[in-house]
């Protein structure tokens, strides 16, 4: 009897406790404790995510250790020229540089010392020498050079071909005073790849002790210096009179296209002091089409000198 009474009292006590638990209100945390709980909850969530990630076996994927993308060598933007080549070219290409891949229109940027005629000619030639673009522009002669920008538009039938941007200027007698060429690659579609000009900002001819209007006597012009050939073609040195007639010439042959020393003499005969243009020029053998004025020249350097009897 006492056991039953004890059991009944225990049951009633348990039911009362459950009733109080169900009807009770959750205890509110004091405000200072809330950030701590949030932080602990966040840490627990990241820990759970890490644990879940680690529990899944990773899928093995072969990752190449080296990309098989072909690399194109481009000229260094820092000149590394041989000693003595320190004069900037009279036609100095700023952009594009050699072997740039170009689609129309080409944005050409140059610094140019125009000839005494103060007119420069801008040509874009195809691989055979046909003229794809030509422009004549008056440029004030300034020995420090003047910046010019051109937009060269062209069309080619093939997907791609070699091309040449050629800039030339003449003196006040119509003789070619300076000419420079930038070899490029032309494309009918695609995107531009612009290379820096590298060492092509300098003249390719360096003559020791030579100055504009230098005097020469005794019927001989002695020349000594260095040349950087554009190609394997010989370079021609000439003395040209104001009427365009050459009175003396020498053919300079070179081994390869590295910078090389040269020494030669140009004999002449005059009866009075005569201004002549000492000219070095080299042809482009890849051009089939010959221009009547600039012919097949790929490079021309000149300086005016005084010939005395």
**Per-residue pLDDT, 34:** 36
**What is the tens place of the pLDDT at every residue in 192-250?**
999 999 888 899 999 998 999 999 999 999 999 999 999 999 999 999 999 999 999 99
| Closest alpha carbon to 140 in 173, 179, 169 | 169
Best CATH choice for the domain 86-203 from the list 3.40.470.10, 2.60.40.2550, 2.30.38.10, 2.60.40.10: 2.60.40.2550
Q: How far apart are CA 109 and CA 115, in angstroms?
A: 18
Structure tokens at 120: 């420069």
**What is the tens place of the pLDDT at every residue in 24-79?**
444 444 444 433 333 333 333 333 333 333 333 433 333 333 333 333 333 444 44
Q: Is the pTM of this model over 0.85?
A: no
List the CATH code of the domain at 204-309. 2.60.40.2550
Give the largest CA-CA distance in the chain: 158
Show the 3-state SS of the chain. Answer: CHHHHHHHHHHHHHHHHHHHHHCCCCCCCCHHHHHHHHHHHHHHHHHHHHHHHHHCCCCCCCCCCCCCCCCCCCCCCCCCCCCCCCCECCEEEEECCCCCEECCCEEEEEEECCCCCCEEEEEEECCCCCEEEEEEEECCCCCCCEEEEEEECCCCCCCEEEEEEEEEEECCCCCEEEEEEEEEEEECCCCCECCCCHHHHECCEEECCCCCCEEECCCEEEEEEEECCCCCCCEEEEEECCCCCEEEEEEECCCCCCCEEEEEEEECCCCCCEEEEEEEEEECCCCCCCECCCECEEEEEEEEEEECC
Domain locations in the chain?
86-203, 204-309
**Per-residue pLDDT, 56:** 38
**Per-residue pLDDT, 85:** 74
Residue 153 CB burial class (10 angstroms; 0-12, 13-18, ≥19): exposed
Q: Are 250 and 203 in contact (CB under 8 A)?
A: no
| Radius of gyration from C-alpha coordinates of the chain | 40
Q: Of 80-89, 98-107, 141-150, which gets the smallest average pLDDT?
A: 80-89
Fold match between domain 86-203 and domain 204-309: yes
Q: Are 114 and 169 in contact (CB under 8 A)?
A: yes
């Amino acid at each position: 009897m006492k056991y039953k009474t004890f059991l009944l009292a225990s049951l009633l006590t348990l039911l009362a406790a459950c009733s109080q638990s169900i009807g009770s209100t959750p205890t509110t945390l004091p405000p200072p404790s809330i950030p701590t709980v949030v932080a602990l909850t966040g840490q627990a969530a990241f820990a759970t995510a890490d644990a879940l990630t680690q529990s899944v076996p990773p899928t093995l994927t072969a990752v190449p250790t080296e990309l098989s993308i072909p690399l194109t060598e481009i000229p260094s933007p820092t000149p590394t020229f041989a000693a003595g080549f320190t004069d900037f070219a009279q036609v100095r290409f700023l952009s594009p540089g050699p072997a740039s891949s170009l689609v129309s229109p080409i944005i050409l940027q140059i610094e140019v010392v125009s000839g005494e005629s103060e007119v420069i000619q801008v040509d874009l030639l195809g691989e055979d020498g046909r003229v794809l673009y030509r422009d004549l522009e008056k440029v004030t002669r300034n020995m420090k050079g003047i910046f010019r920008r051109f937009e060269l538009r062209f069309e080619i039938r093939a997907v791609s071909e070699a091309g040449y941007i050629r800039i030339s200027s003449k003196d006040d007698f119509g003789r070619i005073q300076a000419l420079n060429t930038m070899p490029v690659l032309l494309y009918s579609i695609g995107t531009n790849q612009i290379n820096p000009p590298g060492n092509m900002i300098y003249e390719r001819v360096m003559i020791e002790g030579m100055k504009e209007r230098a005097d020469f006597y005794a019927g001989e012009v002695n020349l000594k210096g260095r040349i950087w050939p554009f190609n394997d073609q010989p370079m021609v040195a000439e003395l040209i009179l104001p009427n365009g007639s050459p009175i003396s010439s020498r053919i300079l042959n070179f081994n390869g296209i590295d910078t090389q020393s040269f020494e030669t003499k140009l004999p002449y005969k005059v009866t009075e002091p005569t201004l002549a243009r000492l000219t070095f020029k080299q042809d482009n053998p890849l051009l089939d089409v010959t221009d009547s004025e600039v012919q097949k020249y790929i490079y021309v350097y000149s300086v005016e000198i005084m010939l005395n009897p």
